[in-house]
Amino acid sequence: MFEAFWGSALKVRRVYREMDQEELLHQLNERTGRNLSLALLNGMEQRLKVIDQELFDAWCDVLDCSQATILKDAQSLEQSSRLSKEDKWRVFIQELDYLNWKSEHQDD
């Protein structure tokens, strides 16, 4: 399934929340009673290390984000990883076109 993309999805949310890795690491260690290292956290965000369910739960809590949202994000990342470069550019251009259209119509 897409569990391998949990770390990437959680990293996206961390950056969106404007939280640095050190702050996240401190809060995760506090909540879980673990002594996670920055290198391990980095490995999890880069999909090199596995995230267990307890840590996933705590991570979602720290980021104030539902597990369902992270799972949807992870699934989306997994699906987009299978696209060719051309398809990725096509999707990117479509998204830009939509944002431009939305921006133009909000002024009305």
Range of the domain at 18: 3-83
Please give the radius of gyration of the chain, using alpha carbons only, rounded to the nearest integer: 16
Q: Is residue 68 part of a domain?
A: yes
Q: What angle do CA 28, 33, 37 make, to 5 degrees?
A: 55
Q: Is residue 64 part of a domain?
A: yes
CATH number, position 24? 1.10.260.40
Is the four-CA dihedral 46, 42, 35, 55 of positive or negative sign? negative
Please state, in angstroms and rounded to a whole number, the distance separating the CA atoms of residues 5 and 86.
Answer: 22
The overall pTM is greater than 0.75 = no
Q: Is residue 99 part of a domain?
A: no
Q: Has residue 59 got a pLDDT over 90?
A: yes
Mean pLDDT, the chain, integer: 89
User: What is the share, in percent, of the chain residues with pLDDT greater than 90?
Assistant: 57
pLDDT tens, position by position, 27-56: 999 999 999 999 999 999 998 999 999 999
Cβ–Cβ < 8 Å for 36, 42:
no
Q: Is residue 58 part of a domain?
A: yes
Count Cβ atoms below 10 Å from residue 90 Cβ, excluding itself.
12
Q: Is residue 106 part of a domain?
A: no
Exposed, middle or buried by CB within 10 Å (0-12, 13-18, 19+), for 108?
exposed
Confidence band, pLDDT 50/70/90 cuts, at residue 78: confident
Q: How many domains in the chain?
A: 1
